Structure 1
Amino acid sequence: MILIVDSGSTKSDWIAVDSNGKQLIEKLRTKGLNPEILKEDKLKKIIKKHPDLKAHKLEVTHVFFYGAGCGTDRGKEAVYNVLKGVFINAVIKVEEDTMAAVYGTITHDTEAAVVCILGTGSNCSYFDGKQLHQRVQSLGYILMDDASGNYYGKELIREYYFNQMPEDIKVSFASKYNLEADYIKYNIYKQPNPNAYLANFAEFMFLNKDSQYIVELIKKGIRSFVNNMIMQYKEEIKTVPVHFAGSIAYFAQEEIKAVAQEMGFTVGNFERRPIEGLVAFHIKNL
Structure 2
Amino acid sequence: MILIADGGSTKATWCLIRPGMETLYFSTEGYNPYYVDSEYIQRSMRQALPAGVPCADVTEVHFFGAGCEPSTEQVIIRGLQPLFAQAEVTVGSDLLAAARALLGDKPGFAAILGTGTNTCLYDGRGVTHSIDPLGYMLGDEGSGSYIGKKLLIAYCREYMPLTLREEFYAQYGLTKELIMERVYKDPLANRFCAGFTTFVKERLDDVYIHRLASEAFDDFFRGLVCHYPGYRAHSLNCVGSVAFHFEPVLRQSAARFGMSMGRIIQDPIQGLVQYFQRGVVI
Give the TM interval when normalised to the shorter protein.
over 0.9
Q: List runs of 5+ in structure 2 lacking aligned partners.
A: none
Q: Distance in 2 between matches of 1:165 and 1:159?
A: 5
Q: Per the alignment, in what secondary structure is the counterpart of residue 282 of structure 1?
A: helix
Q: 1:24 to 1:276 in 2, by over 3 A?
A: closer
Within the candidate set 180, 198, 206, 2:201 is matched to: 206
State the match for 2:230 in structure 1.
Answer: 235
Deviation at 1:54, TM superposition (A): 8.7
| 1:255 aligned onto 2:249 | yes
Deviations 1:154-175, CA, capped at 9 Å, x for gaps = 1111101222112222221111
Q: 1:143 to 1:54 in 2, by over 3 A?
A: farther
Residues 162-171 or 197-206, more deviating: 162-171
Within the candidate set 18, 39, 42, 1:41 is matched to: 39
State the match for 1:221 in structure 2.
Answer: 216
| 1:15 aligned onto 2:7 | no
1:90-109 alignment runs, 5 A limit: 90-106=87-103, 109=104
Deviations 1:26-85, CA, capped at 9 Å, x for gaps = x21111111100111111111112242795211212111111110x31211221222222
Q: Distance in 2 between matches of 1:59 and 1:40?
A: 22
| 1:68 aligned onto 2:91 | no
Note the aligned Cα RMSD (angstroms): 1.8
State the match for 2:79 in structure 1.
Answer: 82
Q: Distance in 2 between matches of 1:152 and 1:11?
A: 18
Deviation at 1:130, TM superposition (A): 1.9
State the match for 2:149 in structure 1.
Answer: 154
Q: 1:40 to 1:68 in 2, by over 3 A?
A: same
Q: Distance in 1 between matches of 2:95 and 2:51?
A: 24
What TM-score does the superposition give when structure 2 sets the normalisation length?
0.93
Q: 1:56 to 1:151 in 2, by over 3 A?
A: same
Q: Distance in 2 between matches of 1:172 and 1:231?
A: 36
State the match for 2:278 in structure 1.
Answer: 284
State the identity %. Answer: 28
Please tell me whether the aligned partners of residues 118 and 132 of structure 2 are also in contact (alpha carbons under 8 angstroms): no
What TM-score does the superposition give when structure 1 sets the normalisation length?
0.92
Deviations 1:182-231, CA, capped at 9 Å, x for gaps = 32233222222110111001111111111121111111011111111111
Please tell me whether the aligned partners of residues 100 and 272 of structure 2 are also in contact (alpha carbons under 8 angstroms): yes
Deviations 1:223-272, CA, capped at 9 Å, x for gaps = 1111111112241431x322011011101111111111111111100011
Q: List runs of 5+ in structure 1 lacking aligned partners.
A: none
Deviation at 1:24, TM superposition (A): 3.6
| 1:193 aligned onto 2:192 | no
* Aligned-partner residue type, residue 18 of structure 1: R
Please tell me whether the aligned partners of residues 187 and 197 of structure 1 are also in contact (alpha carbons under 8 angstroms): yes
Q: 1:116 to 1:55 in 2, by over 3 A?
A: closer
Within the candidate set 163, 167, 176, 2:162 is matched to: 167
Aligned residue-pair number = 280
Q: Per the alignment, in what secondary structure is the counterpart of residue 81 of structure 2?
A: helix
Q: 1:219 to 1:53 in 2, by over 3 A?
A: farther
Q: Distance in 1 between matches of 2:185 and 2:52?
A: 30
